[in-house]
Amino acid sequence: MNRDLVLHDWLVAGIALAAGALAGLLVRALLRWLGRHAERTRWSGDDIIVDALRTLAPGAAVIAGVAVAASALPLTARVSGFVNQSLTALLILIATFSAARVIAGLVQSVAGSRTGVAGSATIFVNITRIVVLAMGVLVALETVGVSIAPLVTALGVGGLAVALALQDTLANLFAGVHILASKTVQPGDYIRLSSNEEGYVVDINWRNTVVRNLSNNLVIIPNGRLARTNMTNYTQPEQQLSILVQVGVGYESDLEHVERVTLDVVDSVMADINGAVPDHEGAVRFHTFADSRINFTVILGVGEFSDQYRIKHEFIKRLHQRFRAEGISIPAPTRTVALHRDELQTFPPPSPSPAVPHQREGSPVAATEQRSPASTG
């Protein structure tokens, strides 16, 4: 301290602190007004930026007021340097948290716009947030005079031990990054595994993939297992898909007439039902002479996987009604059995079995030996 504190010093410092606090309140009110206008726009990035600035701008205004107040006081060089370093480090931390929020929000916004409104990929969001926070903390430590080289070395050695202890967790982490980077599965896709788990991918985080099935239950699948298993993605390469419906008509039916009627029903379903593909060109393919009818396949177009149930439901109802109106029969499976009566054959009655002499209990059995005349003598 070069001189003693006087009333003027305290007055200037107080005015600087009050000005900083007032500026913070005014900036926060201005950002609140900007936030209401940002909500009216389509782009969600402006909402994220304004929300982050609500923390950064008022904090920076208060820190600026503290810095002006400290410069107005007659502090020693050592204390003044410590105050400046502390305020700079605090400002860096506030800016780091705000930047992490903005960048993570923008990453999530981009991921959601590419994979659907319900999709999210928190693995990229979390990695981005951790990287930004780690860099900001290291810069803040370097600002206050803490050497980060030994810290980085210790983190490297400790990271090896942690990697050995968390092999499964790291395997799932890198498997999730590989799945998203290769774009084989994205949030919002409808998938089915070889083990029959299926549903919409809700989220891919650092450890597992969350799938919501059609019954609105969540199926948790480890990323490592998802990367190794056989899987069908019903959303890629395009979301629209074709479904097959099996139909059969009687042998007496005019197949040309059946085809025309069926295609008319297909066109009406594609044009009227929500979730169908209006420009889909229906197709009918006869393929089997069955026991009681001729079977054929109808090809329908649906917008996405879950729409197929509603499309099939409405198509079968309309086709059945139209077939009845046109007199086209859909026979039930029948089978004709012919019985042939053969001539009855008369067989001689079986010969009675020889009588066995009654033997009293405990009496000896008399054995009679018969010899031929040639054997006597």
Q: What is the pLDDT of residues 211-262, one digit of tens each?
A: 999 888 999 999 888 888 898 898 888 888 889 999 999 999 999 999 999 9
Q: Is the pLDDT of residue 375 over 60?
A: no
Q: Is the pLDDT of residue 374 over 60?
A: no
Q: What is the pLDDT of residues 167-223, one digit of tens each?
A: 677 788 888 888 877 778 888 889 999 888 889 998 888 888 899 998 889 999 998
Which DSSP state fits 236? Answer: S
Q: Is the pLDDT of residue 79 over 60?
A: yes
- Percentage above 70 pLDDT, the chain: 77
Q: Which among 290, 238, 245, 251 has a CA at the least distance from the CA of 266?
A: 245
At 368, list the tokens: 């009679």
- Per DSSP, the residues of 262-324 read HHHHHHHHHHHSTTB-TT---EEEEEEE-SSSEEEEEEEEESSGGGHHHHHHHHHHHHHHHHH
Which residue type sits at 63?
Answer: I
Q: Is the pLDDT of residue 118 over 50?
A: no
Q: What is the mean pLDDT of residues 63-67?
A: 79
pTM of the predicted structure, to 2 decimals: 0.56
Q: What is the mean pLDDT of residues 125-152?
A: 77
Distance of CA 196 to the CA centre of its chain: 14
Confidence of residue 350 (pLDDT cuts 50, 70, 90): low
CA gap 293, 330 in Å, rounded: 8
Give bridge partners of residue 282 from the DSSP assignment: none
98 or 167, which is more confident: 98
Whether residue 97 contacts residue 136, with contact meaning beta carbons closer than 8 Å, is answered with yes
Confidence of residue 160 (pLDDT cuts 50, 70, 90): low
**pLDDT computed for residue 361 by the predictor:** 46
Q: What is the mean pLDDT of residues 272-287?
A: 89
**pLDDT computed for residue 8 by the predictor:** 67
Q: What is the mean pLDDT of residues 280-301?
A: 91
Q: What is the pLDDT of residues 293-347, one digit of tens each?
A: 999 999 999 988 888 999 999 999 999 999 999 999 888 777 677 777 765 455 5
Q: What mean pLDDT value characterizes the chain?
A: 77
Q: Which among 240, 223, 229, 209 has a CA at the least distance from the CA of 307?
A: 240
Whether residue 265 contacts residue 325, with contact meaning beta carbons closer than 8 Å, is answered with no
Whether residue 223 contacts residue 176, with contact meaning beta carbons closer than 8 Å, is answered with yes
**pLDDT computed for residue 179 by the predictor:** 82
112 or 267, which is more confident: 267
Q: What is the mean pLDDT of residues 344-365?
A: 50
